[in-house]
């Protein structure tokens, strides 16, 4: 019975995130998608909106739930009784920050293990930041984010030059 958390900003959730959730969900008895809210970060979508955009895409995954966190992720994991923090890796450029974060988390709590899951190649370039940039320029988002996120972005972002 291994419980895991998958933390992130999810501002907004992308098809890359959803692919990771669907692939790891069968491996754990429970998976909590933890939406992080940092005072020092600026988000396009509010915490509630980010949670809702994820919720609408989880459908009938029985052992997956969503929660919020505004503190240290490793503290959240320990309090929730999760042994594993899952992070996704897209490219070598992700490696350094993920490695540093896992090392710091191990220092803070050596009972919580970080597991890295590689992205599928087709999502290796999909990042929430990039998605917002594409939306800003009116680009095609259909292979990058789920449809509810396309609608949410359309309502939030003024397309440049229109
Ligand atoms: P954070 O701000 O914590 O990096 P993100 O929402 O950007 O939050 O990402 C959450 C997690 O999902 C991170 O581990 C990130 O590397 C991973 N991730 C982001 N985009 C993808 C993708 N396209 N494929 C696989 N993993 C991804």
User: Domain residue spans in the chain?
Assistant: 3-124
pLDDT beyond 90 at 129: yes
Q: Could you tell me the pTM of the whole model?
A: 0.95
> d(Cα 156, Cα 158) in Å, to the nearest integer?
7
Domain range 3-124, its CATH number among 3.40.50.1100, 3.30.70.240, 3.40.1160.10, 3.40.50.620: 3.40.50.620
Q: Which of 41, 107, 111, 162 is catalytic?
A: 41
Substitution candidate for ligand 1 out of 6, 7, 17, 86 with most atoms within 8 A of CB? 17
- The pLDDT assigned to 162 comes to 66
Q: Of 148, 140, 136, 114, which is closest to residue 14 (Cα–Cα)?
A: 148
pLDDT at 98: 97
| Per-residue confidence band for 84, with pLDDT thresholds at 50, 70 and 90 | very high
Percent of the chain residues topping a pLDDT of 70: 99
- Return the ligand 1 atom nearest residue 15 CA: 23
Query: From the CB of residue 161, how many other CB atoms can be counted at a distance below 10 Å?
Result: 6
Minimal-distance CA residue to ligand 1 atom 2: 9
Q: How far apart are CA 105 and CA 108, in angstroms?
A: 5
Euclidean distance between CA atoms 114 and 83, whole angstroms:
9
23 included as an active-site residue: no
Catalytic residue among 50, 87, 90, 132: 90
């Amino acid at each position: 019975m291994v419980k895991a958390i998958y933390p992130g900003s999810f501002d907004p959730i992308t098809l890359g995130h959803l692919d990771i959730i669907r692939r790891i969900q069968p491996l754990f008895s429970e998976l909590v998608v933890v939406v992080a809210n940092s005072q020092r970060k600026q988000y396009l979508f509010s915490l509630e909106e980010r949670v809702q955009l994820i919720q609408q895409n989880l459908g009938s995954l029985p052992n997956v739930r969503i929660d919020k966190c505004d503190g240290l992720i490793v503290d959240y994991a320990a309090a929730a009784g999760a042994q594993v923090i899952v992070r996704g890796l897209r490219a070598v450029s992700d490696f350094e920050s993920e490695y540093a974060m896992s090392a710091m988390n191990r220092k803070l709590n050596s009972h919580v293990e970080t597991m890295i899951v590689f992205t599928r190649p087709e999502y290796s370039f999909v990042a929430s930041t990039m998605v917002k940039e594409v939306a800003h320029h009116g680009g095609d988002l259909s292979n990058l984010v789920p449809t509810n996120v396309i609608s949410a972005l359309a309502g939030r972002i003024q397309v440049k030059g229109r």
